[in-house]
Amino acid sequence: MRSQRLDPLLKVVQQRQDAAAREVAERERVLAEQQERLEALRRYAEEYAAAPSSATVSPALLVNRLAFRERLNAAVVQQAGIVDHNRQLSDVERTRLLLASRETKVLEQLADSYRAQESRVAEQRVQRELDDLGGRRARAAAVAADDAEPHA
């Protein structure tokens, strides 16, 4: 039967879809983690920038403070890049999952179609056998009726 020949292929495709779903979940987890880090960095940068500095700041301390703010801003930009990269990876994995889901659905529909066709063929075969049996019984009854009639 053709539907049974599709079963191993369908199993492989479903396993591929499951793996893609796991990969999407992992990518989403990593993306959420990186976004949290970005938000924490942004909050810290904002708090640091808003923190009042004392009026009597030495030039060396001011230079250090400005250098730290620059490094902090660079870290925010770098983390934003990491988030964007992880978002792209997540999008790629979601697309793979979508394609795997479509492939699985197509194979499932094909297998269902084959099963329905096989079922119809089996039902037609049974019906033909019943019709043949009924015909044989009717012929046997007709022959028996002819044999039972007196011959003139």
Instruction: Determine the pLDDT at residue 101.
Output: 96
- Confidence class of residue 1 from pLDDT cuts 50, 70 and 90? confident
Whether 19 has a pLDDT exceeding 80, the answer reads: yes
For residue 116, CA distances in Å to 35, 107, 112 come to 49, 14, 6
Domains of the chain plus CATH, in order, are 2-51+72-148 (1.10.287)
Instruction: Determine the pLDDT at residue 151.
Output: 61
Instruction: Determine the pLDDT at residue 54.
Output: 65
**Residues in CB range of 16: below 8 A, 6 or more apart:** 100, 103
Query: Phi/psi zone of residue 52: left (φ > 0), alpha (ψ -120 to 50 degrees), beta?
Result: beta
Whether 144 has a pLDDT exceeding 60, the answer reads: yes
State the average pLDDT for the chain.
Answer: 91
For 4-41, the DSSP string reads HHHHHHHHHHHHHHHHHHHHHHHHHHHHHHHHHHHHHH
Taking only the tens place, the pLDDT of each residue in 32-90 is 999 999 999 999 999 988 887 666 778 888 899 889 999 999 999 999 999 999 999 99
Q: pTM for the full model?
A: 0.70
